[in-house]
């Protein structure tokens, strides 16, 4: 398949999963009715709680989660692919994880990815984020075939680690998903340039569905859900009032970008002068 119609849903998730899932259901159905084949949701789409204790009180395993079951039913009912950007779930050992799930049109889970890079920062405005105290990092990157298109999975802060995206692209990813809940401060400074850079350097489409606005837990997120083409052009961008944005992805554009700039073939090994450590692009 050379073309794939996609939608990035924008949300302002609160603390109650029931309320959030009702809004997710509405927006996903609208996107499916508009012709989207793959519908992507933001990070923390099912809930954004006020405290770690409140978050942990809402944790289910993947198999017991009513939200996971609802996503499966939605994908099956609409006959579309659904990327549930990320949810806070409990793994088999009871530890919290921030997990992205891809649901196939038959409702089965086709892929899963646990966020690898932890957002442990103090921002210039005084905001403190310590994700590693809330959930454990993943260790494995993930790809999945969506109607013959190779999709590489990531979540939010991962976008600051380009080696991960190069590895996904080298493994065949034509589209890179970056569901996010980007802060207002870092979003204003870095959101567009980072996502465009990941698209350009890998000759890949980037899908970045985002949280936006003032959340019930007091957090302010940047929004501006984006779809970026392999040449780095923003082909769709959500405003504050948009439920979702859509675009038709043509995989011939991936081939064209990678032929024009064959960076995968041009990478060379080198060593660091002070350490002698061998590095390869």
DSSP structure string for 165-231: HHHHHHTT-SEEE--B--BHHHHHHHHHHHHHHHHHHHT-EEEE-BBEEE-TTS-EEE---EEE-TT
User: Would you say 108 and 132 are in contact if contact means Cβ atoms under 8 Å apart?
Assistant: no
The β-bridge partners of 210 are 180
**Which are the catalytic amino acids?**
43, 115, 156
Q: Output phi, psi for 81, to 5 deg.
A: -85, 135
Distance of CA 52 to the CA centre of its chain: 22
Beta carbons within 8 Å of 130's beta carbon, 6+ residues apart: 120
Sign (positive or negative) of CA dihedral 144, 148, 150, 156: negative
Helix (H) or strand (E) holding 270: strand 269-271
């Amino acid at each position: 398949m050379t073309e794939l119609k996609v939608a990035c849903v924008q949300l302002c998730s609160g603390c109650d999963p029931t309320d959030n899932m009702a809004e997710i259901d509405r927006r996903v159905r609208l996107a499916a009715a508009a012709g989207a084949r793959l519908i992507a949701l933001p990070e923390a789409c099912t809930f954004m709680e006020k405290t770690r204790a409140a978050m942990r009180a809402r944790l289910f395993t993947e198999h017991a989660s009513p939200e996971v079951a609802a996503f499966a039913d939605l994908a099956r009912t609409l006959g579309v692919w659904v990327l549930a950007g990320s949810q806070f779930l409990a793994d088999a050992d009871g530890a919290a994880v921030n997990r992205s799930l891809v649901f196939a049109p038959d409702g089965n889970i086709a892929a899963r990815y646990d966020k690898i890079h932890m957002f442990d920062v103090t921002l210039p405005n005084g905001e403190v984020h310590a994700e590693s105290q809330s959930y454990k990092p993943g260790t494995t990157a993930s790809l999945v075939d969506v109607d013959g298109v190779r999709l590489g999975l990531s979540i939010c802060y991962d976008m600051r680690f380009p080696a991960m995206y190069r590895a996904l692209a080298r493994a065949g990813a034509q589209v890179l998903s970056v569901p996010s809940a980007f802060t207002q401060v870092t979003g204003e400074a870095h959101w567009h340039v980072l996502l465009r850079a990941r698209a350009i350097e890998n000759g890949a489409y980037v899908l970045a569905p985002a949280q936006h606005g003032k959340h019930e837990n007091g957090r302010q997120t940047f929004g501006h859900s984006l779809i970026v083409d392999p040449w780095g052009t923003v082909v769709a961008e959500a405003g504050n009032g948009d439920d979702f944005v859509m675009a038709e992805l043509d995989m011939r554009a991936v081939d064209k970008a990678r032929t024009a700039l064959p960076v995968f073939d041009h990478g060379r090994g080198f060593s660091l002068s002070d350490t002698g450590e061998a590095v390869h692009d």
